[in-house]
Amino acid sequence: MSRRTLGLALALALLSSCGEAQDTAGGAAAHLGPPGIPASRFPGPVRPVASVVSDQWAGEDARERVGEAERVIGWLGIRPGQTVADIGAGSGYYTVRLAQRVGPQGRVLAQDVVPQYLARLRRRVADLPNVSVGLGEAGDPRLPPASTDVALLVHMYHEIEQPFALLANLVPALRSGARVGVLDVDDATPRHGTPRALLACEMAAAGYRQVAFHWLLEQPPRSEYLAVFEPPATPPVPEAIRPCTP
């Protein structure tokens, strides 16, 4: 068996066991995949890290009026049958819409680092069999290996305590041809945004290459954007990463 075939087999086994782990834990938060490289090996970001203050960015009705999810899902080319990781899923605005887009043959891996958010999210998606909910870590999304076609990080990149560790540990979960989308606001991290140049620099430091950029909403001084990246073939060496200056 090749290494890639073995990885895919392991991913399928982990996906199938995820629901069992949640059931036997009585709804307690469980990881979706094995641990990666310890976050302690990576440098921290030079810029401030915003605090986690809510499980939603804005009211869902307001987001629907501007067609946010439909536009983002379209820009990322998400198709039926794919597996999408909603990293920092929060209240599940994208999770439920992604589940509808990928359909019964697809999968949504909804991940967050706040157990209380996951408890509410699990109740929201209880009737969606193609959604798995799991607990991540500050520097590790804890996703199954070779499981993900698209990873989406929505209004949470500026809250990641160990961004270089998370980006490195995301790589093994990504399939060939995978894309990573980051939705954020072109503003300083203390104001719950990520300057687009800073995001591009930090992603490049972890080996990611930007392949697309879209303005979702331009209302200065808070302009919302989607940046799309291609991951490196292998995780970066932690000691080789150089943090970016804001």
Whether the CA torsion 208, 210, 212, 214 is positive or negative: it is positive
Within the chain, residue ranges assigned H as helices are 3-24, 60-65, 68-75, 93-102, 115-124, 163-170, 196-205
3-36 burial, b at 16+ Cβ within 10 Å, e below that, comes to eeeebbebbeebbeebeebbeeeeeebbbbbeeb
Fold annotation for 3-240 = Rossmann fold (3.40.50)
164 contacts 206 by C-beta, under 8 angstroms: yes
Domain boundaries, the chain: 3-240
Does 152 or 56 have the greater pLDDT score? 152
Over 31-42, what HEC string results? CCCCCCCCHHHC
112, two tokens: 């967050």
- What is the chain's mean pLDDT, rounded? 87
Work out the pLDDT band at 56, boundaries 50, 70, 90.
low
Residue pLDDT, tens place only, 176-230: 999 999 999 999 999 989 999 999 999 999 999 999 999 987 666 569 999 999 9
